[in-house]
Every structure is written in C-alpha cells, then in structure tokens.
C-alpha cells in the first residue's frame, strides 16, 4: 500500500468512516456455454480494452460505485495505481505475500492460502462527478459523459445512484467476487469510499440456450455478437475519430440500471399476456412469429402488430430497421435477490448493464422508445448511473487511468 493511501486509511479509521430489462448476456448462448467446459480458468488482465465487457458473463458479480476521497490528483493517481495492482493480482491468482510476524494478515483468507483466478474480471469506470473541480480534470471529461437522468418511469433513490468510480467484479463463484471486493476496499481505503453495492448472479440455461431472468423469460437473445470485431468497433469502443479526448480511446460508455421486478404482481398475469408484453414465448424464447429462440422477428409481415404487438418490449427495444442498427447496445446484466423489503414483499430484479459508443445515439434512444411500454407496470428502476469504462492497461508497466491522470 502506498504511503499516501496508508495515511488515508488512518484518517478514515480515525473518523469512523464505513463503506456503506432487456438481456443479461454479452455474447450468444453457444459462446456462454463454452466457458464452462474447456475454458481457461484465467482471463487476461492486460489489453487495449478492459476485460469484463466482451467477456462471456461469469456466474457471479458485484457492481460497486465509489466516491473519491483522495486529497488531490497525486493521491488519486496513487489510488488508481493501487487499484490496478490489486486487480492484476486477483485476476491472475497466486499466493499472497507473507505478512510480518506482528502484522495483520495480508489477505482475508476467504479463498484459502492460494487465491484462485476463477475467471475473475474487474472493470473500472469513471463517473461525471470525478470531473469536477477537485482533481483538475474538468477539461478531460469524456465528451458524452454526464450524470444519469431520471427517465419517466423511474423511481430513483439517490443513495443507489451515481458515483465517481464504478467497479464491476465478475467470477465463477460468489466467494471469489467478495474476496476481490474486500481486497480492493482494504487497499484503497482513504482514497475511495464505497457509495453503493449490489451482488448478482446469472442463472444456468434452463433447459438450454440463453439464461432466464426473474420474470421467467430468456434474457439477452438479441445481443450483438461480441466476437465480431467490426461490430464492436462500431457499437462499443470509442475510436480515434469519435470526438473523445485522446486518453479515452479504447474505452466505452457504461450504463448501470438497478431494476426491481415486482415478481409477485407479475406472477398473477396470464402467460399469454406476459408473452405479448415481451413479444416472445416464455418456454422457448422464440419471437411470437417464430419457433426457435434465435429466429429473427418478421416485423414487415406484421405491420399492425397482430402477432407481435407494436408496444411489445422486443419490438420497441429493437425495431430491426436500417436506422436502428447503429442504436444497438451490448448488454451484460445479472439477476439480483435482496430477500424481502420492509413490507414483506420479495425484493429481486435485474442489474442491467450495457456498453456502447454513444449514450445518446444508443442507450437513451432505446430508453425513450421503451417509455410507457406495458412492462413498466411490473418493474421499478431505482438506481445506477452513467460511467466511462477506461481503456485497458496494456502491460505490467501500465495502470488503469494512466492516460487520464498522468
């Protein structure tokens, strides 16, 4: 731990500070299933782009937002270096450094003496609030980054919104995710303070194909192909000619939406009505005019919406026109379950996450089309935020945020 972060840790301890609906998959189902059999246990940390964006979704996740409490830009840069060092070790795995005889343990021990990589990825983003006056970054803000607005059907809770940084941790096991969170929070305390956090999971395919969400429907069928580099350059990554600051090239805009599903209300709705609201068969995932999950809806042959209603979720989310092709987003969402609320109702839903090249052209355009859809009676977006996923750390001498802060 750097000296500046050690001082910050002591300041925090003295003050008694405490850390406080569209598809879930980023790739086709065939690619998701391949990660379970014969897939490497370690996902490379270094690269032009961060892992955890195009990576096939792992089983467990935690989405965390932080407030930056570092005193000045130098201390903030130290925090990013430390964050990178910890993410590099945790995603690679290995034996923690030995502790001194009288020193506290260097690791929580929740994974045993050997830290398994377990396909862990750590994806770091920055929020609009980081570019205020504190760190002299105002003129370096990504061109399209702003605070996430409240959309017409939202019921946002300020305590679950926004943040200076976002961290998406994903792995095959929940204890790997929680171990990584504890490690990172410990090493960055005094410079980064947890603002909100929510844990989630991806269900196994039942019986096959794309996993399902808490509404019982396959979730993520129509995602663009993350293995298509040209498509990703067009839809996800910011390039040299995107109008973004030079430091931001290779990053992506991240949207996180925490969406509660009113499942007890939903469970009282007939299957026919549920399917017409979504536009798909619950059993197979096929569009209502098809037989198989990955069949393409034939909207042109159904102009009045007699088969797939005009206000169905899939038809509004992606009209599948030449104009809407550049509005597609790459979704990487997870289910969550928080038990019960204060009134004894089930509290579960979707941690929706998507990546795109342009917030307005893509996410916000889709969101406006979805306003007032029938599904809004059964969901309540309550938190999340807009963030900019940083370019990747290219090698062991590089660190996340270097091009922004150095």
Contacts of 393 (CB under 8 A, 6+ apart): 45, 46, 47, 84, 88, 399, 400, 402
Contacts of 184 (CB under 8 A, 6+ apart): 83, 86, 87, 90, 122, 167
Of 117, 79, 168, nearest to 400 by C-alpha is 79
pTM: 0.90
How far from each other are the two terminal CA atoms of the chain, in whole angstroms?
A: 20
Burial class from Cβ neighbours inside 10 Å (0-12, 13-18, 19+) for residue 268 reads exposed
The alpha helices in 69-152, defined as continuous H runs, are 73-92
Structure confidence at residue 98 (pLDDT): 86
Of 331, 358, 370, nearest to 223 by C-alpha is 331
Structure confidence at residue 100 (pLDDT): 78
Structure confidence at residue 39 (pLDDT): 64
358-396 confidence digits (pLDDT tens): 999 999 999 999 999 999 999 999 999 999 999 999 999
Structure confidence at residue 87 (pLDDT): 98
Structure confidence at residue 152 (pLDDT): 92
Structure confidence at residue 37 (pLDDT): 56
Distance (Å, rounded) from C-alpha 24 to C-alpha 207?
A: 17
Structure confidence at residue 244 (pLDDT): 95
Residue the block writes with tokens 């859809």: 373
Distance (Å, rounded) from C-alpha 387 to C-alpha 178?
A: 22
| Residue ranges in the chain whose pLDDT is less than 50 | 1-35
Structure confidence at residue 406 (pLDDT): 87
């Amino acid at each position: 731990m750097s000296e500046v972060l050690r001082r910050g840790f002591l300041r925090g301890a003295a003050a008694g500070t405490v850390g406080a609906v569209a598809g879930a998959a980023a790739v086709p189902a065939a690619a998701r299933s391949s990660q379970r059999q014969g897939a490497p246990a370690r996902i490379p940390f270094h690269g032009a782009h961060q892992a955890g964006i195009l990576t096939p979704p792992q089983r467990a996740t935690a989405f965390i937002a932080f407030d930056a409490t570092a005193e000045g830009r130098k201390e903030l840069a130290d925090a990013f270096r430390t964050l990178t060092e910890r993410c590099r070790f945790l995603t690679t795995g290995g034996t923690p450094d030995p502790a001194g005889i009288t020193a506290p343990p260097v690791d929580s021990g929740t994974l045993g003496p050997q830290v398994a990589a377990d396909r862990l990825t750590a994806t770091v983003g920055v929020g609009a609030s980081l570019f205020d006056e504190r760190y002299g970054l105002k003129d370096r803000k990504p061109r399209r980054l702003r605070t996430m607005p409240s959309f017409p059907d939202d019921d946002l809770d300020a305590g679950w919104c926004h943040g200076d940084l976002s961290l998406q941790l994903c792995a095959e096991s929940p204890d790997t995710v929680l171990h990584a969170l504890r490690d990172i929070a410990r090493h960055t305390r005094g410079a980064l303070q947890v603002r909100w956090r929510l844990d989630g999971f991806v269900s196994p395919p039942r019986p096959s194909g794309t996993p399902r969400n808490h509404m019982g429907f396959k979730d993520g069928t129509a995602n663009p192909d993350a293995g298509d580099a040209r498509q990703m350059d067009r839809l996800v990554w910011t390039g040299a000619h995107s109008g973004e600051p030079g430091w931001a090239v290779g990053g992506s805009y991240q949207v996180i939406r925490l969406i509660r599903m009113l499942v007890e209300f939903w469970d009282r709705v007939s299957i026919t009505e549920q399917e017409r609201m979504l536009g798909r068969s619950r059993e197979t995932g096929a569009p209502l005019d098809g037989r198989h999950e990955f069949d393409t809806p034939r909207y042109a042959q159904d102009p009045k919406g007699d088969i797939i209603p005009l206000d169905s979720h899939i038809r509004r989310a992606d009209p599948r026109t030449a104009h809407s092709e550049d509005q597609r987003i790459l979704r990487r969402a997870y289910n969550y379950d928080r038990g019960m609320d204060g009134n004894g109702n089930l509290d579960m839903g979707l941690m929706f996450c998507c990546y795109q090249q342009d917030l307005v052209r893509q996410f916000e355009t889709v969101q406006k089309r979805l306003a007032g859809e029938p599904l809004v009676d059964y969901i309540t977006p309550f938190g999340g935020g807009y963030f900019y996923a940083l370019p990747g750390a290219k090698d062991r001498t590089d660190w996340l945020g270097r091009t922004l802060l150095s």
